Chains A and B, each alone.
Chain A
Amino acid sequence: MDTLREVLEFYRERPDEVLELAWMHTELSLIALAIGTAIFVPLGILFARWTAGGSAAVGVVASLRVIPSIALIFLFYPLLGFGYQPALVALTILAGPPLILNTYAGMRQVDASVLEAARGVGMNPAQVFFKVHLPLALPVIIAGMRSASVEIFASATLASFIGVRTLGQYIVTGISLLDTTYLLAGGLLIVALVLSAEIILGGFERLVRVPAA
Protein backbone atom coordinates (compact mmCIF):
# COMPACT_ATOMS: atom_id res chain seq x y z
CA MET A 1 0.00 0.00 0.00
CA ASP A 2 2.84 2.31 0.84
CA THR A 3 4.43 1.77 -2.57
CA LEU A 4 1.13 2.47 -4.27
CA ARG A 5 0.81 5.72 -2.32
CA GLU A 6 4.34 6.61 -3.38
CA VAL A 7 3.51 6.00 -7.02
CA LEU A 8 0.37 8.17 -6.80
CA GLU A 9 2.44 10.85 -5.08
CA PHE A 10 4.97 10.52 -7.93
CA TYR A 11 2.25 11.22 -10.51
CA ARG A 12 0.87 14.13 -8.47
CA GLU A 13 4.27 15.82 -8.31
CA ARG A 14 4.74 15.95 -12.10
CA PRO A 15 1.40 15.59 -13.91
CA ASP A 16 2.52 17.51 -17.01
CA GLU A 17 5.58 15.36 -17.54
CA VAL A 18 3.62 12.13 -17.02
CA LEU A 19 0.99 13.17 -19.55
CA GLU A 20 3.61 14.31 -22.02
CA LEU A 21 5.57 11.07 -21.86
CA ALA A 22 2.38 9.00 -22.07
CA TRP A 23 1.32 10.98 -25.12
CA MET A 24 4.72 10.66 -26.81
CA HIS A 25 4.70 6.94 -26.10
CA THR A 26 1.25 6.62 -27.62
CA GLU A 27 2.07 8.78 -30.62
CA LEU A 28 5.24 6.88 -31.49
CA SER A 29 3.36 3.58 -31.14
CA LEU A 30 0.39 4.66 -33.23
CA ILE A 31 2.59 6.00 -36.02
CA ALA A 32 4.53 2.73 -36.08
CA LEU A 33 1.25 0.80 -36.14
CA ALA A 34 -0.12 2.95 -38.97
CA ILE A 35 3.00 2.65 -41.12
CA GLY A 36 3.23 -1.05 -40.35
CA THR A 37 -0.41 -1.59 -41.34
CA ALA A 38 0.06 0.36 -44.56
CA ILE A 39 3.06 -1.77 -45.54
CA PHE A 40 2.45 -5.22 -44.13
CA VAL A 41 -1.29 -5.74 -44.69
CA PRO A 42 -0.89 -5.26 -48.47
CA LEU A 43 2.17 -7.51 -48.31
CA GLY A 44 0.15 -10.19 -46.54
CA ILE A 45 -2.54 -9.86 -49.21
CA LEU A 46 0.06 -10.29 -51.93
CA PHE A 47 1.44 -13.39 -50.23
CA ALA A 48 -2.09 -14.81 -49.96
CA ARG A 49 -2.63 -14.32 -53.70
CA TRP A 50 0.79 -15.68 -54.62
CA THR A 51 -0.05 -19.33 -55.15
CA ALA A 52 3.48 -20.49 -55.96
CA GLY A 53 5.57 -18.86 -53.21
CA GLY A 54 3.13 -17.43 -50.70
CA SER A 55 3.30 -20.10 -48.05
CA ALA A 56 7.12 -20.27 -48.23
CA ALA A 57 7.36 -16.49 -47.83
CA VAL A 58 5.02 -16.62 -44.87
CA GLY A 59 7.13 -19.39 -43.33
CA VAL A 60 10.18 -17.14 -43.48
CA VAL A 61 8.24 -14.30 -41.84
CA ALA A 62 7.06 -16.62 -39.08
CA SER A 63 10.63 -17.63 -38.31
CA LEU A 64 11.65 -13.94 -38.02
CA ARG A 65 9.30 -13.72 -35.07
CA VAL A 66 11.88 -15.21 -32.76
CA ILE A 67 14.07 -12.09 -32.97
CA PRO A 68 13.35 -10.28 -29.70
CA SER A 69 12.35 -6.64 -29.87
CA ILE A 70 15.24 -5.54 -27.71
CA ALA A 71 17.66 -7.07 -30.21
CA LEU A 72 15.86 -5.30 -33.02
CA ILE A 73 16.12 -1.90 -31.39
CA PHE A 74 19.83 -2.22 -30.72
CA LEU A 75 20.47 -3.85 -34.08
CA PHE A 76 19.39 -0.60 -35.68
CA TYR A 77 21.57 1.51 -33.47
CA PRO A 78 24.78 1.04 -35.50
CA LEU A 79 22.81 1.35 -38.75
CA LEU A 80 20.60 4.34 -38.16
CA GLY A 81 22.09 5.73 -34.99
CA PHE A 82 20.41 7.35 -32.06
CA GLY A 83 16.96 8.87 -31.82
CA TYR A 84 13.43 8.92 -33.13
CA GLN A 85 13.85 7.54 -36.64
CA PRO A 86 15.66 4.30 -35.78
CA ALA A 87 13.14 3.71 -33.00
CA LEU A 88 10.25 4.20 -35.41
CA VAL A 89 11.82 1.89 -38.00
CA ALA A 90 12.44 -0.81 -35.41
CA LEU A 91 8.91 -0.60 -33.98
CA THR A 92 7.40 -0.69 -37.47
CA ILE A 93 9.37 -3.78 -38.37
CA LEU A 94 8.23 -5.35 -35.14
CA ALA A 95 4.66 -5.08 -36.40
CA GLY A 96 5.56 -7.02 -39.56
CA PRO A 97 5.21 -10.66 -38.52
CA PRO A 98 1.84 -10.41 -36.72
CA LEU A 99 0.36 -8.26 -39.49
CA ILE A 100 1.66 -10.37 -42.39
CA LEU A 101 0.81 -13.69 -40.78
CA ASN A 102 -2.71 -12.66 -39.78
CA THR A 103 -3.49 -10.99 -43.08
CA TYR A 104 -2.30 -14.07 -44.94
CA ALA A 105 -4.30 -16.41 -42.73
CA GLY A 106 -7.36 -14.14 -42.88
CA MET A 107 -7.35 -14.00 -46.66
CA ARG A 108 -6.69 -17.72 -47.10
CA GLN A 109 -9.35 -18.76 -44.63
CA VAL A 110 -12.22 -17.32 -46.68
CA ASP A 111 -14.39 -20.11 -48.08
CA ALA A 112 -13.57 -20.80 -51.74
CA SER A 113 -17.25 -21.41 -52.51
CA VAL A 114 -18.14 -17.93 -51.25
CA LEU A 115 -15.52 -16.37 -53.53
CA GLU A 116 -16.73 -18.47 -56.42
CA ALA A 117 -20.30 -17.36 -55.76
CA ALA A 118 -19.13 -13.75 -55.75
CA ARG A 119 -17.67 -14.22 -59.20
CA GLY A 120 -20.64 -16.31 -60.22
CA VAL A 121 -23.18 -13.56 -59.52
CA GLY A 122 -21.16 -11.19 -61.69
CA MET A 123 -18.83 -9.21 -59.44
CA ASN A 124 -15.69 -8.00 -61.17
CA PRO A 125 -12.32 -8.73 -59.50
CA ALA A 126 -12.27 -5.44 -57.57
CA GLN A 127 -15.82 -6.01 -56.31
CA VAL A 128 -15.00 -9.56 -55.24
CA PHE A 129 -12.04 -8.18 -53.30
CA PHE A 130 -13.62 -5.17 -51.63
CA LYS A 131 -17.18 -6.42 -51.11
CA VAL A 132 -16.47 -10.01 -50.14
CA HIS A 133 -12.88 -11.15 -49.72
CA LEU A 134 -11.47 -8.30 -47.64
CA PRO A 135 -14.50 -7.87 -45.35
CA LEU A 136 -14.43 -11.57 -44.54
CA ALA A 137 -10.70 -11.44 -43.78
CA LEU A 138 -10.97 -8.24 -41.75
CA PRO A 139 -11.58 -9.71 -38.28
CA VAL A 140 -8.42 -11.80 -38.56
CA ILE A 141 -6.45 -8.83 -39.92
CA ILE A 142 -7.60 -6.66 -37.02
CA ALA A 143 -6.62 -9.41 -34.60
CA GLY A 144 -3.17 -9.09 -36.17
CA MET A 145 -3.21 -5.35 -35.57
CA ARG A 146 -4.12 -6.07 -31.98
CA SER A 147 -1.13 -8.29 -31.36
CA ALA A 148 1.09 -5.90 -33.31
CA SER A 149 -0.05 -3.00 -31.14
CA VAL A 150 0.64 -4.94 -27.96
CA GLU A 151 4.19 -5.57 -29.13
CA ILE A 152 4.66 -1.98 -30.26
CA PHE A 153 3.28 -0.35 -27.12
CA ALA A 154 5.39 -2.61 -24.92
CA SER A 155 8.54 -2.16 -27.01
CA ALA A 156 8.19 1.62 -27.32
CA THR A 157 9.55 1.52 -23.78
CA LEU A 158 12.90 0.42 -25.20
CA ALA A 159 13.04 3.49 -27.44
CA SER A 160 14.09 5.49 -24.40
CA PHE A 161 17.32 3.52 -24.33
CA ILE A 162 18.27 5.15 -27.62
CA GLY A 163 17.22 8.60 -26.56
CA VAL A 164 13.52 8.88 -27.47
CA ARG A 165 11.18 10.34 -24.87
CA THR A 166 8.57 7.69 -24.03
CA LEU A 167 7.37 6.21 -20.75
CA GLY A 168 10.54 4.12 -20.98
CA GLN A 169 12.20 7.26 -19.63
CA TYR A 170 11.02 6.35 -16.11
CA ILE A 171 12.34 2.82 -16.55
CA VAL A 172 15.76 4.09 -17.66
CA THR A 173 15.91 6.50 -14.70
CA GLY A 174 14.58 3.87 -12.31
CA ILE A 175 17.31 1.45 -13.35
CA SER A 176 20.13 3.97 -13.08
CA LEU A 177 18.93 5.32 -9.70
CA LEU A 178 17.81 1.89 -8.47
CA ASP A 179 14.48 3.57 -7.61
CA THR A 180 11.46 1.25 -7.62
CA THR A 181 8.98 4.13 -7.57
CA TYR A 182 10.18 5.23 -11.00
CA LEU A 183 10.04 1.65 -12.28
CA LEU A 184 6.53 1.10 -10.94
CA ALA A 185 5.21 4.47 -12.05
CA GLY A 186 6.46 3.89 -15.59
CA GLY A 187 5.52 0.21 -15.68
CA LEU A 188 1.94 0.78 -14.54
CA LEU A 189 1.30 3.39 -17.21
CA ILE A 190 2.82 1.19 -19.92
CA VAL A 191 0.61 -1.71 -18.88
CA ALA A 192 -2.40 0.62 -18.92
CA LEU A 193 -1.59 1.74 -22.47
CA VAL A 194 -1.03 -1.79 -23.72
CA LEU A 195 -4.35 -2.88 -22.23
CA SER A 196 -6.25 0.06 -23.72
CA ALA A 197 -4.82 -0.65 -27.17
CA GLU A 198 -5.84 -4.26 -26.76
CA ILE A 199 -9.35 -3.38 -25.64
CA ILE A 200 -9.97 -0.77 -28.32
CA LEU A 201 -8.78 -2.98 -31.17
CA GLY A 202 -10.64 -5.92 -29.66
CA GLY A 203 -13.77 -3.77 -29.90
CA PHE A 204 -13.13 -3.10 -33.59
CA GLU A 205 -12.58 -6.78 -34.14
CA ARG A 206 -15.96 -7.62 -32.63
CA LEU A 207 -17.55 -4.91 -34.74
CA VAL A 208 -16.45 -6.47 -38.03
CA ARG A 209 -16.81 -10.08 -37.00
CA VAL A 210 -19.13 -12.19 -39.15
CA PRO A 211 -22.30 -12.87 -37.19
CA ALA A 212 -22.63 -16.48 -36.14
CA ALA A 213 -25.71 -18.36 -35.03
Chain B
Amino acid sequence: MSRQQQERDPQGGSAIRLENLSKQYPNSPHPAVDNVSLDIEPGEFVVFLGPSGCGKTTLLKMVNRIYEPTGGKIWIDKTEVHELAAPQLRRQIGYVIQQTGLFPHMRIADNVATVPRLLKWKKARINRRVEELLDLVGLPPESYARRYPAQLSGGEQQRVGLARALAAEPSTMLMDEPFGALDAITRNRLQEELLRIHRQIKQTILFVTHDIDEAVRLADRIVVLRQGKVEQFATPLEIISNPANDFVAELVGAEDVLRRMSLIPIASAATAINGQRNVDDPTISGSSFLRDAIGTMVETGSERLSVVDEDGHPVKSLTMEDIQQAVSTSDAEENASERRATSASD
Protein backbone atom coordinates (compact mmCIF):
# COMPACT_ATOMS: atom_id res chain seq x y z
CA MET B 1 0.00 0.00 0.00
CA SER B 2 2.33 2.71 1.17
CA ARG B 3 6.06 3.27 1.14
CA GLN B 4 7.05 1.52 4.35
CA GLN B 5 5.50 -1.76 3.38
CA GLN B 6 7.95 -2.33 0.60
CA GLU B 7 10.85 -1.40 2.82
CA ARG B 8 10.38 -4.16 5.32
CA ASP B 9 10.90 -7.83 4.70
CA PRO B 10 8.14 -10.07 5.84
CA GLN B 11 9.69 -11.69 8.88
CA GLY B 12 7.47 -14.67 9.48
CA GLY B 13 6.19 -16.13 12.70
CA SER B 14 7.12 -18.50 15.45
CA ALA B 15 6.12 -22.11 15.81
CA ILE B 16 4.06 -22.52 18.97
CA ARG B 17 3.64 -25.78 20.73
CA LEU B 18 1.34 -26.38 23.68
CA GLU B 19 2.14 -29.53 25.58
CA ASN B 20 -0.42 -30.96 28.03
CA LEU B 21 -1.27 -27.44 29.08
CA SER B 22 -3.60 -27.13 32.08
CA LYS B 23 -4.86 -24.40 34.36
CA GLN B 24 -6.77 -25.08 37.52
CA TYR B 25 -7.93 -21.97 39.38
CA PRO B 26 -7.99 -22.29 43.15
CA ASN B 27 -11.49 -22.94 44.54
CA SER B 28 -12.74 -24.14 41.19
CA PRO B 29 -14.03 -27.68 40.66
CA HIS B 30 -12.97 -28.03 37.01
CA PRO B 31 -9.78 -27.01 35.27
CA ALA B 32 -10.34 -23.92 33.08
CA VAL B 33 -7.86 -25.37 30.57
CA ASP B 34 -7.62 -29.13 30.57
CA ASN B 35 -4.58 -30.90 29.16
CA VAL B 36 -4.42 -29.05 25.84
CA SER B 37 -1.78 -30.04 23.30
CA LEU B 38 -1.50 -28.16 20.00
CA ASP B 39 1.10 -27.71 17.30
CA ILE B 40 0.81 -24.35 15.63
CA GLU B 41 2.77 -23.69 12.45
CA PRO B 42 4.93 -20.60 11.97
CA GLY B 43 2.83 -17.85 10.43
CA GLU B 44 -0.44 -19.60 11.05
CA PHE B 45 -3.56 -17.65 11.97
CA VAL B 46 -5.24 -19.77 14.63
CA VAL B 47 -8.62 -18.83 16.07
CA PHE B 48 -9.82 -20.19 19.42
CA LEU B 49 -13.58 -20.57 19.33
CA GLY B 50 -15.97 -21.69 22.01
CA PRO B 51 -18.81 -20.66 24.29
CA SER B 52 -18.33 -18.23 27.15
CA GLY B 53 -16.29 -19.69 29.99
CA CYS B 54 -14.69 -22.48 27.95
CA GLY B 55 -11.20 -21.24 28.77
CA LYS B 56 -10.18 -19.24 25.68
CA THR B 57 -8.89 -16.23 27.58
CA THR B 58 -7.18 -18.38 30.20
CA LEU B 59 -5.39 -20.34 27.51
CA LEU B 60 -4.28 -17.25 25.63
CA LYS B 61 -3.00 -15.47 28.73
CA MET B 62 -0.83 -18.40 29.69
CA VAL B 63 1.17 -17.89 26.51
CA ASN B 64 2.45 -14.50 27.69
CA ARG B 65 2.36 -15.56 31.32
CA ILE B 66 -0.31 -13.16 32.52
CA TYR B 67 -1.58 -16.41 34.05
CA GLU B 68 0.67 -19.26 35.11
CA PRO B 69 -0.28 -22.78 34.05
CA THR B 70 -0.75 -25.43 36.71
CA GLY B 71 0.59 -28.04 34.31
CA GLY B 72 2.25 -28.46 30.93
CA LYS B 73 4.58 -26.46 28.74
CA ILE B 74 4.43 -23.75 26.10
CA TRP B 75 7.15 -23.60 23.47
CA ILE B 76 7.68 -20.61 21.22
CA ASP B 77 10.15 -21.87 18.66
CA LYS B 78 12.91 -23.47 20.74
CA THR B 79 12.15 -21.62 23.97
CA GLU B 80 9.84 -22.68 26.76
CA VAL B 81 8.14 -19.47 27.92
CA HIS B 82 9.32 -19.93 31.51
CA GLU B 83 12.96 -19.81 30.46
CA LEU B 84 12.64 -16.04 30.03
CA ALA B 85 11.74 -13.37 32.58
CA ALA B 86 8.08 -12.49 32.00
CA PRO B 87 8.72 -8.86 30.87
CA GLN B 88 11.36 -10.01 28.36
CA LEU B 89 9.00 -12.66 27.02
CA ARG B 90 6.12 -10.22 26.68
CA ARG B 91 8.16 -7.67 24.74
CA GLN B 92 8.45 -10.29 22.01
CA ILE B 93 4.73 -11.03 21.89
CA GLY B 94 2.10 -8.63 20.61
CA TYR B 95 -0.93 -8.40 22.87
CA VAL B 96 -4.33 -6.95 21.97
CA ILE B 97 -7.40 -7.05 24.20
CA GLN B 98 -11.02 -6.09 23.73
CA GLN B 99 -10.89 -3.21 26.24
CA THR B 100 -7.88 -1.93 24.22
CA GLY B 101 -5.92 -1.21 27.42
CA LEU B 102 -4.53 1.94 25.82
CA PHE B 103 -2.72 4.22 28.26
CA PRO B 104 -5.17 7.11 28.60
CA HIS B 105 -2.53 9.59 29.78
CA MET B 106 -0.28 9.06 26.78
CA ARG B 107 -0.63 10.41 23.27
CA ILE B 108 -1.30 7.92 20.49
CA ALA B 109 2.32 8.11 19.32
CA ASP B 110 3.56 7.35 22.85
CA ASN B 111 1.16 4.45 23.21
CA VAL B 112 2.47 2.94 19.99
CA ALA B 113 6.08 3.62 21.00
CA THR B 114 5.75 1.77 24.31
CA VAL B 115 7.47 -1.50 23.47
CA PRO B 116 10.26 -0.02 21.29
CA ARG B 117 11.04 2.30 24.21
CA LEU B 118 11.12 -0.61 26.64
CA LEU B 119 13.53 -2.25 24.22
CA LYS B 120 15.61 0.94 24.18
CA TRP B 121 15.46 1.55 20.46
CA LYS B 122 17.06 4.75 19.18
CA LYS B 123 14.77 7.75 19.11
CA ALA B 124 14.86 8.24 15.35
CA ARG B 125 14.07 4.60 14.74
CA ILE B 126 11.14 4.77 17.14
CA ASN B 127 9.73 7.86 15.44
CA ARG B 128 10.01 6.26 12.03
CA ARG B 129 8.39 3.07 13.28
CA VAL B 130 5.47 4.92 14.89
CA GLU B 131 4.67 6.77 11.66
CA GLU B 132 4.94 3.60 9.65
CA LEU B 133 2.60 1.75 12.02
CA LEU B 134 -0.03 4.48 12.14
CA ASP B 135 -0.04 4.45 8.35
CA LEU B 136 -0.27 0.67 8.37
CA VAL B 137 -3.40 0.64 10.54
CA GLY B 138 -4.98 3.48 8.58
CA LEU B 139 -4.55 6.36 11.04
CA PRO B 140 -2.62 9.18 9.30
CA PRO B 141 0.06 10.28 11.80
CA GLU B 142 -0.45 13.97 10.97
CA SER B 143 -3.91 13.91 12.49
CA TYR B 144 -3.66 11.10 15.05
CA ALA B 145 -0.16 10.95 16.56
CA ARG B 146 -0.66 13.77 19.03
CA ARG B 147 -4.17 12.89 20.18
CA TYR B 148 -5.13 11.05 23.34
CA PRO B 149 -7.04 7.74 23.37
CA ALA B 150 -10.23 9.34 24.70
CA GLN B 151 -10.30 11.52 21.59
CA LEU B 152 -10.64 8.49 19.28
CA SER B 153 -13.62 6.33 18.34
CA GLY B 154 -13.76 2.73 19.55
CA GLY B 155 -12.63 1.42 16.18
CA GLU B 156 -9.75 3.88 16.00
CA GLN B 157 -8.67 2.95 19.52
CA GLN B 158 -8.63 -0.70 18.52
CA ARG B 159 -6.41 0.21 15.55
CA VAL B 160 -4.02 1.92 17.94
CA GLY B 161 -4.06 -1.20 20.12
CA LEU B 162 -3.12 -3.22 17.06
CA ALA B 163 -0.34 -0.79 16.12
CA ARG B 164 1.04 -0.89 19.66
CA ALA B 165 1.08 -4.68 19.59
CA LEU B 166 2.84 -4.74 16.19
CA ALA B 167 5.42 -2.12 17.13
CA ALA B 168 8.45 -4.25 17.91
CA GLU B 169 7.73 -6.67 15.07
CA PRO B 170 6.70 -9.58 17.27
CA SER B 171 6.70 -12.99 15.66
CA THR B 172 3.66 -13.93 17.77
CA MET B 173 0.46 -11.99 18.38
CA LEU B 174 -2.16 -12.75 21.03
CA MET B 175 -5.55 -11.19 20.42
CA ASP B 176 -8.45 -11.62 22.85
CA GLU B 177 -11.73 -10.66 21.17
CA PRO B 178 -10.13 -7.48 19.84
CA PHE B 179 -13.13 -6.54 17.72
CA GLY B 180 -15.82 -7.80 20.08
CA ALA B 181 -17.08 -4.38 21.11
CA LEU B 182 -17.29 -2.88 17.62
CA ASP B 183 -20.22 -2.47 15.25
CA ALA B 184 -20.45 -4.87 12.32
CA ILE B 185 -19.13 -2.49 9.67
CA THR B 186 -16.10 -1.43 11.69
CA ARG B 187 -15.44 -5.02 12.69
CA ASN B 188 -15.48 -6.14 9.06
CA ARG B 189 -13.09 -3.42 8.03
CA LEU B 190 -10.68 -4.22 10.84
CA GLN B 191 -10.83 -7.94 10.08
CA GLU B 192 -9.96 -7.11 6.51
CA GLU B 193 -6.99 -5.02 7.56
CA LEU B 194 -5.79 -7.60 10.05
CA LEU B 195 -5.80 -10.17 7.26
CA ARG B 196 -3.88 -7.82 5.01
CA ILE B 197 -1.29 -7.21 7.73
CA HIS B 198 -1.04 -10.91 8.42
CA ARG B 199 -0.54 -11.73 4.74
CA GLN B 200 2.22 -9.19 4.66
CA ILE B 201 4.08 -9.94 7.89
CA LYS B 202 3.07 -13.56 8.45
CA GLN B 203 3.36 -13.50 12.23
CA THR B 204 1.78 -16.36 14.09
CA ILE B 205 -1.55 -15.12 15.45
CA LEU B 206 -3.56 -16.68 18.26
CA PHE B 207 -6.96 -15.02 18.16
CA VAL B 208 -9.87 -15.57 20.54
CA THR B 209 -13.48 -15.06 19.56
CA HIS B 210 -16.88 -16.56 20.14
CA ASP B 211 -18.15 -15.28 16.81
CA ILE B 212 -18.18 -18.13 14.31
CA ASP B 213 -18.30 -15.85 11.27
CA GLU B 214 -15.23 -14.02 12.49
CA ALA B 215 -13.46 -17.32 13.09
CA VAL B 216 -14.29 -18.64 9.62
CA ARG B 217 -13.24 -15.43 7.99
CA LEU B 218 -9.89 -15.08 9.72
CA ALA B 219 -8.61 -18.51 10.58
CA ASP B 220 -6.17 -20.76 8.83
CA ARG B 221 -7.22 -23.23 11.48
CA ILE B 222 -9.82 -23.09 14.22
CA VAL B 223 -9.48 -24.61 17.68
CA VAL B 224 -12.90 -25.43 19.10
CA LEU B 225 -12.81 -25.46 22.89
CA ARG B 226 -15.34 -26.78 25.35
CA GLN B 227 -14.82 -26.78 29.10
CA GLY B 228 -11.10 -26.39 28.65
CA LYS B 229 -10.68 -29.25 26.21
CA VAL B 230 -9.99 -29.20 22.48
CA GLU B 231 -12.96 -30.61 20.58
CA GLN B 232 -11.54 -30.06 17.12
CA PHE B 233 -8.52 -28.39 15.54
CA ALA B 234 -8.96 -28.02 11.80
CA THR B 235 -9.46 -25.64 8.89
CA PRO B 236 -12.74 -23.69 8.77
CA LEU B 237 -14.01 -25.70 5.81
CA GLU B 238 -13.18 -28.95 7.53
CA ILE B 239 -14.90 -27.86 10.73
CA ILE B 240 -18.05 -26.75 8.93
CA SER B 241 -18.29 -29.61 6.50
CA ASN B 242 -17.01 -32.29 8.82
CA PRO B 243 -17.53 -31.35 12.47
CA ALA B 244 -16.00 -33.80 14.93
CA ASN B 245 -19.15 -34.12 17.00
CA ASP B 246 -22.57 -32.64 17.72
CA PHE B 247 -21.15 -29.96 19.97
CA VAL B 248 -18.94 -28.59 17.20
CA ALA B 249 -21.69 -28.90 14.61
CA GLU B 250 -24.10 -26.93 16.70
CA LEU B 251 -21.53 -24.33 17.73
CA VAL B 252 -20.51 -23.55 14.15
CA GLY B 253 -23.97 -23.95 12.68
CA ALA B 254 -22.82 -26.62 10.28
CA GLU B 255 -26.40 -26.96 8.98
CA ASP B 256 -26.18 -23.42 7.66
CA VAL B 257 -25.99 -24.01 3.90
CA LEU B 258 -25.00 -20.46 3.08
CA ARG B 259 -22.15 -20.53 5.58
CA ARG B 260 -20.90 -23.72 4.01
CA MET B 261 -21.16 -22.26 0.53
CA SER B 262 -19.12 -19.26 1.64
CA LEU B 263 -16.25 -21.68 2.33
CA ILE B 264 -16.36 -23.94 -0.74
CA PRO B 265 -14.15 -22.57 -3.51
CA ILE B 266 -15.74 -22.35 -6.93
CA ALA B 267 -12.76 -24.22 -8.32
CA SER B 268 -13.78 -27.37 -6.47
CA ALA B 269 -17.30 -27.38 -7.91
CA ALA B 270 -16.92 -26.08 -11.44
CA THR B 271 -16.79 -28.53 -14.33
CA ALA B 272 -14.84 -28.48 -17.53
CA ILE B 273 -16.26 -26.42 -20.30
CA ASN B 274 -18.35 -28.58 -22.61
CA GLY B 275 -20.31 -27.85 -25.71
CA GLN B 276 -23.04 -25.95 -23.89
CA ARG B 277 -20.91 -22.94 -23.19
CA ASN B 278 -22.50 -19.73 -24.24
CA VAL B 279 -20.45 -16.58 -24.77
CA ASP B 280 -23.17 -14.57 -23.04
CA ASP B 281 -22.77 -16.41 -19.74
CA PRO B 282 -22.00 -14.04 -16.85
CA THR B 283 -18.44 -14.50 -15.61
CA ILE B 284 -17.12 -15.15 -12.11
CA SER B 285 -13.58 -15.33 -10.80
CA GLY B 286 -12.24 -18.82 -10.09
CA SER B 287 -10.84 -17.63 -6.76
CA SER B 288 -14.24 -16.77 -5.24
CA PHE B 289 -16.66 -19.03 -3.38
CA LEU B 290 -19.96 -20.77 -4.13
CA ARG B 291 -21.84 -18.16 -2.18
CA ASP B 292 -20.59 -15.47 -4.55
CA ALA B 293 -21.67 -17.62 -7.48
CA ILE B 294 -25.21 -17.90 -6.12
CA GLY B 295 -25.24 -14.14 -5.72
CA THR B 296 -24.21 -13.64 -9.33
CA MET B 297 -26.80 -16.13 -10.54
CA VAL B 298 -29.59 -14.40 -8.66
CA GLU B 299 -28.47 -11.00 -9.87
CA THR B 300 -28.14 -11.95 -13.52
CA GLY B 301 -30.91 -14.53 -13.71
CA SER B 302 -28.55 -16.97 -15.39
CA GLU B 303 -28.26 -20.56 -14.20
CA ARG B 304 -24.84 -20.99 -15.72
CA LEU B 305 -21.69 -18.99 -15.10
CA SER B 306 -18.42 -18.86 -16.94
CA VAL B 307 -15.51 -19.27 -14.52
CA VAL B 308 -12.57 -17.10 -15.54
CA ASP B 309 -8.92 -17.06 -14.52
CA GLU B 310 -6.96 -14.02 -13.38
CA ASP B 311 -6.63 -12.78 -16.95
CA GLY B 312 -10.34 -13.07 -17.59
CA HIS B 313 -10.10 -16.14 -19.83
CA PRO B 314 -12.93 -18.62 -19.37
CA VAL B 315 -11.54 -21.86 -17.96
CA LYS B 316 -14.54 -23.73 -16.58
CA SER B 317 -18.26 -23.45 -16.25
CA LEU B 318 -20.49 -23.64 -13.21
CA THR B 319 -24.17 -24.53 -13.11
CA MET B 320 -26.77 -24.63 -10.38
CA GLU B 321 -26.50 -28.41 -10.55
CA ASP B 322 -22.75 -28.26 -9.91
CA ILE B 323 -23.38 -26.18 -6.81
CA GLN B 324 -26.04 -28.53 -5.47
CA GLN B 325 -23.70 -31.40 -6.12
CA ALA B 326 -20.83 -29.80 -4.21
CA VAL B 327 -22.99 -28.83 -1.26
CA SER B 328 -24.61 -32.24 -0.94
CA THR B 329 -21.21 -33.92 -1.07
CA SER B 330 -20.13 -31.93 1.94
CA ASP B 331 -23.53 -32.75 3.49
CA ALA B 332 -22.89 -36.42 3.20
CA GLU B 333 -19.51 -36.05 4.81
CA GLU B 334 -20.96 -34.56 7.92
CA ASN B 335 -23.78 -37.08 8.40
CA ALA B 336 -26.24 -34.29 8.47
CA SER B 337 -29.39 -36.32 8.83
CA GLU B 338 -28.24 -37.88 12.05
CA ARG B 339 -27.29 -34.50 13.46
CA ARG B 340 -30.55 -32.85 12.48
CA ALA B 341 -32.39 -35.59 14.29
CA THR B 342 -30.46 -34.92 17.50
CA SER B 343 -30.64 -31.15 17.32
CA ALA B 344 -34.37 -31.30 16.58
CA SER B 345 -34.90 -33.07 19.86
CA ASP B 346 -33.56 -30.20 21.97
Contacts and interface: CB of A to CB of B under 8 A. Distances in A.
Interface of A: 111, 113-114, 116-124, 127, 131-132, 135-136, 210-213
B95 A123 contact: no
8 smallest CB-CB distances across A and B, nearest first, come from A117-B101, A122-B91, A122-B90, A113-B99, A120-B95, A211-B148, A124-B87, A122-B87
A69 to B, nearest CB: 34
Contacts of B118: 121-123, 127
Given A122-B118, A211-B150, A211-B151, A117 B105 contact: no
Nearest to A117: B101
Interface string B74-90: 00000000000011111
Given A121-B91, A210-B148, A114 B115 contact: no
A122 B104 contact: no
A120 B148 contact: no
A113 B101 contact: yes
A138 to B, nearest CB: 9
A74 to B, nearest CB: 43
B158 interface: no
B64 interface: yes
A114 B101 contact: yes
B102 A114 contact: yes
B114 interface: yes
Contacts of B105: 132, 135-136, 210-211
B95 A118 contact: no
A116 B66 contact: yes
Contacts of B88: 122
Interface string B260-289: 000000000000000000000000000000
Which of A117, A119, A122 has the most chain B CB atoms inside 10 A of its CB? Answer: A122
Contact of A111 (B92, B99, B115, B165): B99
Chain B: interface residue count, which band?
Answer: 20 to 34
B150 A210 contact: yes
Contact of B97 (A117, A131, A211): A117
Contacts of A131: 103
A212 B150 CA distance: 5
Interface in B136-185: 148, 150-151, 164-165
Which of B64, B91, B92, B105 has the most chain A CB atoms inside 10 A of its CB? Answer: B105
A120 B64 contact: yes
Which of A123, A127, A211 has the most chain B CB atoms inside 10 A of its CB? Answer: A211
Contacts of A127: 87, 118
Given A121-B95, A132-B105, 15 more contacts: A111-B104, A114-B103, A117-B97, A117-B102, A119-B90, A120-B90, A122-B92, A122-B115, A127-B87, A132-B103, A135-B105, A136-B104, A210-B104, A213-B150, A213-B151
Nearest to A113: B99
16 contacts: A114-B101, A114-B102, A114-B103, A117-B95, A117-B97, A117-B102, A118-B101, A118-B103, A119-B66, A120-B95, A121-B91, A122-B87, A127-B87, A135-B105, A136-B105, A210-B105
B97 A113 contact: yes
B66 A120 contact: yes
Interface string B3-39: 0000000000000000000000000000000000000
Nearest to B85: A124
Contacts of A211: 104-105, 148, 150-151
A123 B119 CA distance: 10
A25 to B, nearest CB: 35
Contacts of B100: 113, 117
Contacts of B66: 116, 119-120
Which of A113, A116, A117 has the most chain B CB atoms inside 10 A of its CB? Answer: A117
Contacts of A123: 87, 114, 118
Contacts of A117: 95, 97, 100-103
B97 A120 contact: yes
A117 B105 CA distance: 14
Contacts of A120: 64, 66, 90, 95, 97, 101
Contacts of B165: 121
Interface string B39-82: 00000000000000000000000001010000000000000000
Contacts of B64: 120
B114 A121 contact: yes
A110 to B, nearest CB: 9
Nearest to A124: B87
Contacts of B95: 117, 120-121
Contact of A116 (B97, B102, B104, B164): B97
